[in-house]
Amino acid sequence: MLIIGAGFSGLALGMRLLERGESDFLILEQADGIGGTWWVNRYPGCACDVQSHLYSLSFVPKPDWSSQFAPRTEIQSYLEEAARKRGLMPHIRLNTAVQKAAWNDERQYWQLKDQDGRVYTGDLLIPALGGLSRPKFPNIPGLGDFAGAVIHSQQWPDDLDLKGKRVAVIGCGASAIQFVPRIQPDVAQLDLYQRTPQWILPKPDGPIPDWKQKLYRAFPPARLLTRLGLYLLLESRLPAFNRYPALSWLHRRMARNYLARQVRDPELRRKLRPDYAMGCKRVLMSNDFYPALTRENVSVITDPIEQIDATGVTSGGCHRPVEVLLMATGFRATAPVPRGLISGRDERDLAACWALGPEAYKGTTVHGFPNLFMLLGPNTGLGHNSVLLMLESQLNYVLSALDHLDQKQVSVLEPRLEAQTDWNHQLQARLAKTVWKSGGCASWYQHPLSGRVPTLWPSSTASFRRALRYFDSAAYHCIEAPGSQSARHDQEAAAQRN
């Protein structure tokens, strides 16, 4: 088995495989460290916006999270420690960027090639690429002419020194609201280009006291109770997002009051006030973003950007000189797989099949791509809870599929087109009623051309867990392994006929 990516999902699958005594797998990772998102994103202030006791794997408990929302370094160390302790490291090949993964129909295996031409073969392919790993750069006239550094939030160099510099930040999503307050005290001038204001709530963050960490260690049910409480709290937000937006009135009011308290200048407040349904874009949390925007060295600019030239940015007819451009413009979430990376039966390219947005069966398998199980695939993202809950459901499904392959002596599994079409039809019907589809905003949840939402799961996490509890072979074309009893029987019958 070949797994692409040593982020949360690739590592989690590796750990579950080892737990079952399976060791015939490799994890290929392009970076020089493990942790995926939590290894790559190094901008100042990078942290999780889901509480750590829920944003962690149920089978890798950590009683001593330092704060409610752990910083990225702590999450990365959590993953690294778990991988080391569980003996996963020998299965991981770092600095190994898969260039091409192709299904060989004749031999019924996947063949992968890395950047140095090394070839790997495996009966199963597990793309664990993450939905938010391909940075999106805006298409702004003149961007290529800019003479200073252009840095995407995901590609933040460890040694970036912004002291005394004039910087422009383009975008104000989850990434920008984390790093803007961190860099604001250092820079000479910060121009924040905001296209759409965000719904922002205060972040209930803070250190987890020592006594609580000790309690969680000594008495695990206390930690589980905390986890359950967080789960129920976040899950209770779902009806306001997927059916009854009016239910978010209290949170809308909290957000408006919070803005009014933090930003006294009515003009700035007006610029920062969202006018679409709460949740249509990911609801953000921060205690220091609004205060940072009120500082003298910060300008919030809402006129559309007209042009970038060698020395700065022009918007609303005004040219503002800058030395560094920071792109907080997000990710290509609706095109998570590059063209030419994965080719299935009849050499069909996965990215080409997904030109109008990714689509899979149960977010995991794809018609035309035998023996491929994608982790955190299409419509497995969440707008209301921890995505790791979805990942763990997928792990159950993949392991159940492995059991099916073993027990039924099957060698190839591929979802039937009808099953995939039905699944997506129902999904899109449910999504139509949600704020993610019709909340009056544009977001990375939606495909820019088709308007479909190929990213989020519209229902409860429990319903996804139920749907993926067991591998449902009826939804699949199954080809028996050449050595299996019934395959031998077929061969003998064919030989007799000849």
Number of H helices, E strands in the chain: 16, 20
For the CB of residue 46, give the shortest distance to ligand N01 in the complex, in Å.
7
- Taking residues 147 to 166 in sequence order and writing x for each that binds ligand N01 by CB under 6 A, - otherwise, the string is ------x-------------
Looking at the Cβ atoms of 88 and 441, the one nearer to ligand N01 is 441
The stretch near ligand N01 (CB under 6 A) out of 46-54, 110-118, 248-256, 293-301 is: 46-54
Does 171 interact with ligand N01 (rule: CB under 6 A)? Answer: yes
Q: Which helix (H) or strand (E) holds 327?
A: strand 324-327
Residue 250: CA count within 13 A, CB half-sphere: 3
Residue 298: CA count within 13 A, CB half-sphere: 20
Does 49 interact with ligand N01 (rule: CB under 6 A)? Answer: yes
Q: Which two tokens stand for residue 149?
A: 């550094």
CA dist 82 and 80 (Å) reads: 5
Does 138 interact with ligand N01 (rule: CB under 6 A)? Answer: yes
Total residues contacting ligand N01 by CB under 6 A comes to 26
CA dist 436 and 158 (Å) reads: 35
Does 386 interact with ligand N01 (rule: CB under 6 A)? Answer: no
Looking at the Cβ atoms of 172 and 410, the one nearer to ligand N01 is 172
End-to-end CA distance of the chain: 37
Among 227, 282, 404, 452, binds ligand N01 (CB under 6 A): 282
Looking at the Cβ atoms of 153 and 420, the one nearer to ligand N01 is 153
For the CB of residue 146, give the shortest distance to ligand N01 in the complex, in Å.
14
Q: Is the dihedral of CA 303, 308, 313, 319 positive or negative?
A: negative
- Per DSSP, helices labelled H in 106-237 are 174-183, 210-218, 220-235
Looking at the Cβ atoms of 103 and 444, the one nearer to ligand N01 is 444
Among 170, 326, 366, 405, binds ligand N01 (CB under 6 A): 170
Looking at the Cβ atoms of 176 and 238, the one nearer to ligand N01 is 176
The stretch near ligand N01 (CB under 6 A) out of 24-32, 80-88, 97-105, 168-176 is: 168-176
CA-to-CA dists, residue 105 to 191, 231, 419, angstroms: 54, 43, 22
Q: Which two tokens stand for residue 256?
A: 């408006």
Q: Which helix (H) or strand (E) holds 463?
A: helix 461-467
Q: Are 388 and 461 in contact, with CB atoms under 8 Å apart?
A: no
Among 409, 402, 415, 386, which Cα is nearest to 475's?
415
For the CB of residue 370, give the shortest distance to ligand N01 in the complex, in Å.
31
Binders of ligand N01 in range 189-218 (CB under 6 A): 193, 195-196
- Taking residues 421 to 460 in sequence order and writing x for each that binds ligand N01 by CB under 6 A, - otherwise, the string is ---------------------x-x----------------
State the Cα angle at 167 between 164 and 168, rounded to 5°.
Answer: 165
Q: Annotate 122-133 with DSSP letters as a single string.
A: ES-EEE---SS-
Q: Annotate 229-292 with DSSP letters as a single string.
A: HHHHHHHTTHHHHHT-GGGGHHHHHHHHHHHHHH---HHHHHHT---S-TTSSPPEE-SSHHHH
For the CB of residue 191, give the shortest distance to ligand N01 in the complex, in Å.
12
For the CB of residue 275, give the shortest distance to ligand N01 in the complex, in Å.
12
Looking at the Cβ atoms of 87 and 304, the one nearer to ligand N01 is 304
Contacts (Cβ under 8 Å, ≥6 apart) of 310: 145, 146, 147
Among 3, 70, 132, 143, binds ligand N01 (CB under 6 A): 132
The stretch near ligand N01 (CB under 6 A) out of 170-178, 235-243, 363-371, 464-472 is: 170-178
Q: Which two tokens stand for residue 45?
A: 């202030």
- Taking residues 219 to 258 in sequence order and writing x for each that binds ligand N01 by CB under 6 A, - otherwise, the string is ----------------------------------------
For the CB of residue 444, give the shortest distance to ligand N01 in the complex, in Å.
4
CA dist 177 and 189 (Å) reads: 17
Binders of ligand N01 in range 299-358 (CB under 6 A): 305, 328-331
For the CB of residue 200, give the shortest distance to ligand N01 in the complex, in Å.
12
Q: Are 56 and 62 in contact, with CB atoms under 8 Å apart?
A: yes
Percent of the chain that is helix, strand, coil (3-state, to 5): 35, 20, 45
For the CB of residue 379, give the shortest distance to ligand N01 in the complex, in Å.
15
State the Cα angle at 135 between 133 and 136, rounded to 5°.
Answer: 135
Does 176 interact with ligand N01 (rule: CB under 6 A)? Answer: yes
Looking at the Cβ atoms of 171 and 357, the one nearer to ligand N01 is 171
Q: Tell me the residue length of the chain.
A: 498
Among 51, 56, 68, 175, binds ligand N01 (CB under 6 A): 175
For the CB of residue 94, give the shortest distance to ligand N01 in the complex, in Å.
23
Does 172 interact with ligand N01 (rule: CB under 6 A)? Answer: yes
Question: Which residues, listed in sequence order, are joined to residue 405 by a DSSP beta bridge?
Answer: none
Among 173, 279, 336, 363, binds ligand N01 (CB under 6 A): 173
Question: Which residues, listed in sequence order, are joined to residue 151 by a DSSP beta bridge?
Answer: 326
Looking at the Cβ atoms of 196 and 460, the one nearer to ligand N01 is 196
Q: Which residues would be at the binding site for ligand N01 (CB under 6 A)? A: 47-49, 132, 138, 140, 153, 170-176, 178, 193, 195-196, 282, 305, 328-331, 442, 444
